[in-house]
Structure 1
Amino acid sequence: MEAQMEKEYLKGGEFLIAEQTSAEVFTPEDFSDEQKMIGETSREFIDNEVRPNLEAMENHAWEVARELIKKGGELGLLGATIPEEYGGLGLDQTTGVVIAEMMGRAGGFGTTFGAQTSIGLLPILYFGSEELKHQWIPKIVSGEVVTAYCLSEAGSGSDALGAKCTAKLTEDGQHYVLNGEKMWISNGGFADVYIVFAKVDGEKEKFSAFVVERSENCRPGAEEHKMGIKSSSTTPLILSDAKIPVTNLIGNVGDGAKIAFNILNVGRFKLGASTTGGAKLAIHESVRYANERHQFNKPISSFGAIKHKLAEMAIRTWVAESITYRTVGMIDALIGDGADQARKMQSIEEYAVESSINKVACSEALDYVTDEMVQIYGGYGYSADYPAEKAYRDSRINRIYEGTNEINRMLIPGQLLKRAMKGKIGLLQAAKALQDEILNPQMAFDEDTGLLAAETKLAQNAKKIALMVLGTAAQKYMQSLQDQQEVLLNCADIIMDAYQMESAILRAKKSAERQGEEAAGRLVDIAAVFCNDAIQRIEMKARNTLAAIAEGDEGRMLLVALKRFTKNNSPINTIAARRRIAEVMISANTYTF
């Protein structure tokens, strides 16, 4: 597989040092007819079946949630990416992401669905024995059994290996007995089976995963009183001498960390999709309200301030969608046809950096969108009688679960350096070449005069800046870089913006190649405005970080290079571009991109 990857595929994290063409990236415009059909089926299910029942589920009518899970199973939505031998449809990861995007319209039920189809199922699929797979997966994908994922504890959220929950083997070697308490369990109140992480004999190196059925000794606690996603169940799980057969161990003793962190990668790129779906719905509602609401005898959508908000909401959402499908497209390309579960897991793990980027960038895009949605609604935005208030509360959790955004930000540069040190990507060689370029700058004559040429150059320079800042930090701190959290967070922000810039440009170019530049004009506007603003964010982050890590002649030299890399010789009229973007939606009375 390694040889095949090196020959045919852009490796995980390699976007930072390699170039791709528009033809090489997957975009929503590349959906197959089957993917479009499944997306429409999912949307109809959400809009016609789920959303009318959200209020009932907010009042803890979990029998409604169970019935909706079963309906999702009947439609094939629960098992879309699960092999047919276990009751699924055997479709690609992109199809699963299409479904996840639509689930972003479903409020708290999207969390219920995600626990059922992702974190509460995939540990068994990717790491469980054939006995466990055949015993549980068909029941989960049909909706007969509801599942939940139990990793966090009161004292171990981001520090998963700090868990206190224990598992002890009985003297006859036939059972494990689990004790402890898990926290913040999605589906906890009505799940039938739980994926529980515990330390065998209380030893950290024996952190393991188990399938535990609900019983008197494995029972949920009281429902949490949450800020948002109230239509999903969230409870503690209390384990009191819960006895399970040894065959309920997932994988081997000590595999718990590997299982937990790999499964979270799946959750992260799917979370990017669901937050994008939520953002599209929020924009739709915002545009409609802005057209209907009149002040000073005019619809508020006619005011420049509102147009700016709507346009920026659309820009961030469209770019979030672009990185989501670019990432899953790479995963599917690497998986290929006929891959077994081990190969699928390897392929998903390969793009852990991109998955973390998706999780952070997309969840923060949704938070921006819902915050501006409240502002557009004004006083009504603060009222629970209008959709903005609920969207605002529901969005906030996305920056916390599947690994907090802070943890994911630190993973991005950390994983890149780890892959570089192992020789999986040529980051060190690229850093050396960049150092030579900084020391011996050459006169540049831009020959590219094509569509988004200036933005393409900025995106290439953004990647150089990311490499420059990360390389300087690594040289200065070496093994202690992991303790420099502020530096890592800034590096991550630069890397994320670089990935988003390039993804937006490639998607806009691809659309222009297919439709013509005039037809793709608003998408070109979106990419151009995003790049214009992103390079300014990058310049600020890089300047502040370099001031903290480089001094004297080195610092001055790097700041000169930064000034050169962030120079924008072709600034655009972002006010006019944003107005054009907004007016498309205002005219259509919905999000249209």
Structure 2
Amino acid sequence: MEAKDDMIRGGQFIVTETKAEDVFTPEDFSDEQKMMRDSVKEFVDREIWPKKEEFEKKNYDLTEEIMRKAGELGFLGVAVPEEYDGLGMDFVSTMLVCDYISGATGSIATAFGAHTGIGTLPITLYGTEEQKKKYIPKLATGEWFGAYCLTEPDAGSDANSGKTKAVLTEDGKHYKISGQKMWISNAGFCDLFIVFARIEDDKNITGFIVEKDLDNGISLGEEEKKLGIHSSSTRQVFFSDTKVPVENILGERNGGFKIAMNALNVGRIKLAAACLDAQRRVIDSAVKYANDRVQFNTPIAKFGAIRSKLAEMATAVYTDEAASYRAAKNIEDRIHLRKESGNSPQEAELKGVEEFAIECSILKVAVSEDAQDCTDEGIQIYGGMGFSADTPMESAWRDARISRIYEGTNEINRMLSVGMLMKKAMKGHIDYMGPAQAVADELTGIPSFDTPDYSELFSEEKAMLQKLKKVFLMVSGSAAQKFGAELEDHQQLLLASSDILIEIYMAESALLRAEKNAKKEGEEAQKVQIAMAKLRLYQAVEKISQKAKEGIISFAEGDEQKMMLMGLKRFTKYDNYPNVVELRNIIADKVTEDNTYNF
């Protein structure tokens, strides 16, 4: 899709119909991107996967060693401009590297994400030219490692409430930073911290680049004892009158909260990418075990209960891939458009990602939860062996759990997605109230009794998607009208609305990917992808029906409630229900015959 003035904006999917030819899918990777993917996979299979057991023994030196090797191969600098010794690759390619380098163990996924994302990106995007020249080449090549010091004992989701202080010295040449930071990934072996502190009584925190010098008032706590990511170095960091040159302020004074939030937007979509290959590897292990494990003289992969699990695991990661790379390309196109409009590369990337912050939050929630479910089902397929630390499922399950907390908890991201959509609507960036009012008018009108034409591929599924969007507009529009600015105080209602929004985006992404590929390769060649798209939509309809009902009966009463519940029934009713068992069997046949996830 070429960059153009009328390209889709973030969040706009909920009020428009996206065409299959306008989305980017994993099948659209360029030859260069495929080569990069294969290089990363080869590195992981050689250097990380065979040492999986070692990563469970809290071998922090091994993590540092692997990270240095990744730096030597250029993997740490994929998002860094070439003038700072990076590869300067496009946004989709940076997602691709994050995806495939993160699958073998959560310890490397965390170290990589913390270093390349929140440890390096803030300097790339907000640093002065002098700061970038001094620090970025070292970070891009793995000579140095970065860490990010934002969270404090009393400042987690409320990041701007941090108590760490920065006081200007009498000579005006340094700030003295004092405070405590916790859950700092890479703290044990990093060379540089991005630290957020408050200057005097400023309203907002300020970012600083702080070199790690233990003789400069910096001390580290012991390595944290964690449920998972055992070889990821996680420590508290204490600052006591740590002197930082005034020229090491990152961005502008009072601008730290903005830096933190924009870094999190990028971190959220990259975290989704980091959960993809982890799922593929779990499926591969699970299907191989299911094909080999014989009970009652039959491989357990032949049993319907196991086939159902494998089909749904495959469908989830197929959907997650579709949605993640769809959003990544949207961001990339927006970045290109802004560059063509005269923005600097840094400003273009900041605004490009910010434009799709809603999708970033959606992906963070959906993919991290799919990864958790995938590992849980992986354990179940292995049965008693899955509970053993001698199999890969146990550590995969533990490593997956942190993803629902990183980069803002899933609860925070759920509420953010709806909140950001409402703000975009109020700014006129999305025509939300018009479609919402149209749905309200439709509820009081006479429904059409025309027989739809469902002769084309996905015609009924597309019609269903449009009806599901009406459900979101009905529930969120009525809630916004009733509560106004106080809507954010009704968190459970926001969570229900967010789940509807998430289900629509994910199901639509799967549908568009399958449709695009079927148009290129033919329906018969893509029958498994078609089955996954139909299964994912069915799952979305069921969940949306539940969440919308929960929302409606929580704030609507009397005739209004009856009318909305009738509308919900109309908007979630198939004319021809899919045979869900048949769909699962089509998918399971492919996965078990290939003995791998192969899409």
TM-score, with normalisation over the residues of structure 1? 0.97
1:141 equivalent in alignment to 2:146: no
Q: In the aligned structure 2, how far is the partner of 1:504 from the partner of 1:327?
A: 12
Equivalent position to 2:522, from 516, 525, 540: 516
Instruction: Check whether the contact 1:55–1:231 (CA below 8 A) recurs between aligned residues.
Output: no
Given candidates 532, 535, 539, the residue that maps to 1:533 is 539
Match of 1:365 among 370, 384, 398: 370
1:188-587 superposed matches below 5 A: 188-201=187-200, 203=201, 205-216=203-214, 217-336=217-336, 340-443=345-448, 444-587=450-593
Q: After TM superposition, which residue ranges in structure 1, 4 or more long, deviate above 4 angstroms?
A: none
- Asked if structure 2 preserves the Cα contact closer than 8 Å seen for 1:455 and 1:532, the reply is no
The equivalent of 2:17 in structure 1 is: 19
CA distance in 1, matches of 2:289, 2:209: 47
RMSD after superposition: 1.4
Provide the secondary structure at the position in 1 that maps to 2:197: strand
SS at match of 1:7: coil
Name the structure 1 match of 2:130.
131
Instruction: Please give the alpha-carbon distance, in whole angstroms, between the structure 2 residues aligned to 1:283 and 1:222.
Output: 35
Deviation by residue 1:170-198 (Cα, 9 ceiling, x = unmatched): 12211111111111111011111111111
**Corresponding letter in the other structure for 1:367:** Q
Partners in 2 of 1:307 and 1:183 — Cα distance?
A: 43
**Distance (Å, rounded) in 2 between the aligned partners of 1:54 and 1:364:** 23
- Per-residue deviation, residues 203-251 of structure 1 (Å, max 9, x unmatched): 3513111111112212321100000011211111111111110111100
Q: Deviations over 1:241-273 (max 9, x none)?
A: 111101111001111111001011111111111
- Residue 205 of structure 1 aligns to a residue whose secondary structure is coil
Q: Is the contact between residue 124 and residue 133 of structure 1 (CA under 8 Å) also seen in structure 2?
A: yes
User: Hey, what's the Cα distance between the residues in 1 that align with 2:65 and 2:143?
Assistant: 9
How far the C-alpha of 1:74 sits from its partner, in A, is 1.9
Residue matched to 1:51: 49
Q: Is the 8 A contact 1:315 1:526 kept in 2?
A: yes
Distance in structure 2 (CA, Å) of the matches to 1:111 and 1:88: 20
Q: What is the one-letter code of the residue matched to 2:253?
A: V
Structure 1 counterpart of 2:162: 163
Deviations 1:483-536 (A, max 9, x none): 100000000000000111111111110110111000000000001111112101
Alpha-carbon distance, 1:347 to partner: 0.4
Partner amino acid, structure 1, of 2:82: E
- 1:113-138 deviation per Cα after TM superposition (whole angstroms, max 9, x unaligned): 11111111111011111111111110
Label 1:105 to 1:470 Cα distance change in 2 as closer, same or farther (>3 A): same
Worse-matched range after superposition: 44-53 or 33-42: 44-53
Structure 2 CA distance, aligned partners of 1:511 and 1:546?
A: 37
| Distance apart, 1:548 and its partner CA | 0.8
> Partners in 2 of 1:286 and 1:68 — Cα distance?
26
User: Percent identity between the aligned chains?
Assistant: 45
- Which residue of the partner structure matches residue 36 of structure 2? 38
- Counting matched residue pairs gives 589
| Structure 1 residue 352 displacement after superposition | 0.2
Q: Relative to 1, partners in 2 of residues 1:395 and 1:547: Cα closer, same or farther, differing over 3 Å?
A: same
Aligned residue type for 1:314: A
Paired position in structure 2 for 1:112: 111
CA distance in 2, matches of 1:422, 1:18: 18
8 Å CA contact retained: 2:104, 2:281: no
Measured in 2, the distance between the counterparts of 1:295 and 1:562 equals 45
Q: In 2, distance between residues paired with 1:43 and 1:6?
A: 34
2:194 and 2:102 map into 1 onto residues whose CA distance is: 24
CA contact (8 A) 1:58 1:232 kept: no
What is the CA–CA distance in structure 2 between the aligned matches of 1:243 and 1:106, rounded to whole Å? 39
Could you tell me how far apart the structure 2 residues matched to 1:591 and 1:219 are?
46
C-alpha distance in 1, partners of 2:523/2:59? 51
Confirm or deny: 8 A CA contact 2:160 2:204 kept in the other structure.
no
CA distance in 2, matches of 1:385, 1:214: 38
Structure 2: gaps spanning 5 or more residues: none
Counterpart Cα distance in 2 of 1:95 and 1:42: 12
- Report the Cα distance in structure 1 between the residues aligned to 2:311 and 2:52, rounded to whole angstroms: 29
Deviation string, structure 1 residues 365-385 (Cα, Å, up to 9, x no partner): 001100000101111111100
Query: What is the DSSP-based 3-state SS (H/G/I as helix, E as strand, rest coil) of the residue aligned with 2:76?
Result: coil
The verdict on how the C-alpha distance between 1:424 and 1:6 changes in structure 2, with shifts beyond 3 A counting, is: farther
Question: For residues 40-94 of structure 1, what are the alpha-carbon distances to aligned partners after superposition, in whole Å with 9 as ceiling and x for unaligned?
Answer: 1111111111233444444444333223222212211111121111111111010
The alpha-carbon deviation at position 104 of structure 1 amounts to: 2.6
Unaligned runs of 5+ in 1: none
1:102 counterpart residue number? 100
Contact 2:3 2:336 in 1 (8 A): no
Q: How big is the shift at 1:275?
A: 0.6
Matches of 1:118 and 1:392 in 2, distance apart?
24
Q: CA deviation at 1:471?
A: 0.7
Separation (CA, whole Å) in 1 of partners of 2:425 and 2:16: 14
User: In the TM superposition, what is the alpha-carbon distance from 1:567 to its structure 2 partner?
Assistant: 0.9
Question: For 1:88 and 1:513, how far apart are their aligned partners in 2?
Answer: 38
Whole-angstrom CA distance in 2 between matches of 1:215 and 1:80: 28
**Alpha carbons 2:103, 2:276 under 8 Å: kept:** no
The residue type paired with residue 141 of structure 1 is A
2:93 corresponds to which letter in structure 1?
T
Question: In the TM superposition, what is the alpha-carbon distance from 1:30 to its structure 2 partner?
Answer: 0.5
| Cα distance change of structure 1 residues 143 and 564 upon mapping to structure 2, 3 Å threshold | same
Letter paired with 1:70: R
Supply the AA of the counterpart residue of 2:430: I
| In structure 1, C-alpha distance between the alignment counterparts of 2:346 and 2:182, rounded to whole Å | 29
Instruction: Name the SS of the counterpart of 1:78 in structure 2.
Output: helix
Q: Are the equivalent residues in 1 in contact too, given 2:56–2:395 (CA < 8 A)?
A: no
Q: Distance between the aligned counterparts of 1:437 and 1:359, measured in 2? A: 33
DSSP-derived class of the 1:144 partner? coil
Change (3 A) 1:491 1:6: farther
> How far apart are the structure 1 equivalents of 2:380 and 2:388?
12
Distance 1:480 1:206 in 2: 24
Aligned-partner Cα distance in 2 for 1:183–1:95:
32
SS of the equivalent of 2:457 reads coil
| Conservation of the 8 A alpha-carbon contact between 1:161 and 1:204 | no
Question: Of 27, 30, 38, which aligns to 1:29?
Answer: 27
